[in-house]
């Protein structure tokens, strides 16, 4: 039977098939495939499942259908391995916060880059606007302009108070993935959108001004028959997997028009002679985004 993976704990999975929820495990041999991933299956995957003859009320996943797209990051635990965040999504929604906790533009850009490899539309919601100072609000305006200009949808929000109708519309008729640092408000948003979701929510730590990693498993929730939203555990850093230096600029939409115009075809747009792309800095390419580009190219701290 074909089923959708709606929850993944690594040990067992929750599947959704024909309006029924099933508990499933992977058939052992699957674990050996795709050695470069720490998790062979992610929420959003379509799989084939059959009843487990050996265990009552348990199903076995026997096949994974080809993914339309997926979001992956480097595994925090295993070097050179990727960790799937979710598959088959229509939009990637970053919950950013200028305060409590602070989300850096480097983190935002890394997330957008992972989406660009499949051209998945990106949305940035700056949450906790009630905590923003005048200076924070000015920063928001600057960022809104930068990201809007290059094709990303940007909004200011306060999930604790509720979700207004404009914001609700963003989630209609698609499967959206929520991503952020811990404590930015992903589960709060889910609870506001879906009254019976009951996702656990915790206050962030006062001392560290960081979240306490409340959500530990990814889970997909249906808003209605055509709309779903995926809650995920907060992440500290977003290491880019599968993207080489020479192709990095392809994942910056504002850089694409310069590609192929530099003197050298393998120009990294850093200190290379005859670089045409660098002429666009401060014009089509914001200095902030170019700084992110360099930081990723030079493999600097993923948390920046
Ligand atoms: N001031 C303020 N606090 C908010 C807002 N939205 C959420 N919070 C609070 O932020 C804290 C963390 O929210 P969660 O929803 O648990 O965050 P999360 O992103 O799910 O965190 P993890 O599950 O750890 O990844 C909670 O105390 C929420 O009440 C907001 O708009 N304003
Ligand atoms: Mg959560
Ligand atoms: Zn160049």
Distance 10 CA to ligand 2 centre (A): 18
pLDDT band at residue 268, thresholds of 50, 70 and 90?
very high
Q: Mean pLDDT in the chain?
A: 92
What pLDDT is attached to residue 29?
Answer: 66
Q: In terms of pLDDT, which residue wins out, 79 or 72?
A: 72
Reported as half-sphere exposure (CB side, CA atoms, 13 A), residue 224 has a value of: 7
> What does the pLDDT read at residue 304?
41
Q: What is the pLDDT averaged over residues 215-221?
A: 94
pLDDT in tens, 102-145: 999 999 999 999 999 999 999 999 999 999 999 999 999 999 99
Does residue 212 register a pLDDT over 50? yes
**pLDDT recorded at residue 27:** 82
Helix axes 287-297, 105-116, angle to 10 degrees: 70
Averaged pLDDT, 219-230: 96
The three-class DSSP label of residue 82 is strand
Res. 302: pLDDT tops 70: no
Q: Is the CB of 180 under 6 A from ligand 1?
A: yes
Q: Residue 20: which residues within 8 A CB-CB, separation 6 or more?
A: none
Whole-model pTM: value is 0.95
Give the residue whose CA is nearest to atom 24 of ligand 1.
213
pLDDT at 104: 93
pLDDT reported for residue 5? 98
183 lines ligand 1 (CB under 6 A): yes
Q: Name the token pair of 124.
A: 């940035």
pLDDT of amino acid 32: 52
**DSSP letter for each residue of 40-58:** S--TT-EEEEEE-TTSTT-
Q: Is 204 in the pocket of ligand 1 (CB under 6 A)?
A: yes
Confidence of residue 76 (pLDDT cuts 50, 70, 90): confident
Rounded CA separation 186/13 (Å): 21
Quick one: pLDDT at residue 178? Answer: 98
Q: For ligand 1, what atom is nearest to the CA of residue 200? A: 16
């Amino acid at each position: 039977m074909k089923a959708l993976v709606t929850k993944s704990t690594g040990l067992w999975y929750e599947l959704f098939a024909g309006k029924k929820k099933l508990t499933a495990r992977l058939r052992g041999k699957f674990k050996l495939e795709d050695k470069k991933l720490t998790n062979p299956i992610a929420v959003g995957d379509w799989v084939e499942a059959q009843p487990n003859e050996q265990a009552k009320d348990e199903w076995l996943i026997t096949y994974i259908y080809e993914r339309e797209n997926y979001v992956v990051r480097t595994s925090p635990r295993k070097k050179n391995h990727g960790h799937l965040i979710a598959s088959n999504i229509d939009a990637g929604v970053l919950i950013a916060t200028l305060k409590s906790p602070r989300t850096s533009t480097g983190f935002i850009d890394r997330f957008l880059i992972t989406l660009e490899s499949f051209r998945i539309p990106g949305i940035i919601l700056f949450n906790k606007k009630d905590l923003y100072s005048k200076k924070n609000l000015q920063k928001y305006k600057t960022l809104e302009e930068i990201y809007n200009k290059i094709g990303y949808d940007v909004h200011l929000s306060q999930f604790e108070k509720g979700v207004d109708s404009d914001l609700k519309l963003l989630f209609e008729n698609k499967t959206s993935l929520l991503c952020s640092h811990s404590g930015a408000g992903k589960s709060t948003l889910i609870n506001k959108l879906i009254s019976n979701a009951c996702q656990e929510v915790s206050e962030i730590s006062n001392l560290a001004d960081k979240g306490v990693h409340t959500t530990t498993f990814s889970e997909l929730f249906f808003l209605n028959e055509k709309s779903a939203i995926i809650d995920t555990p907060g992440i500290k850093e977003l290491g880019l997997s599968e993207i080489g230096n020479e192709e990095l600029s392809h994942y910056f939409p504002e850089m694409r028009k310069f590609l192929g115009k530099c003197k050298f075809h393998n120009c990294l747009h850093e200190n290379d002679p005859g670089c045409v792309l660098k002429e666009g800095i401060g014009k089509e390419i914001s200095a902030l985004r170019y700084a992110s580009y360099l930081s990723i190219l030079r493999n600097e701290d993923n948390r920046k």
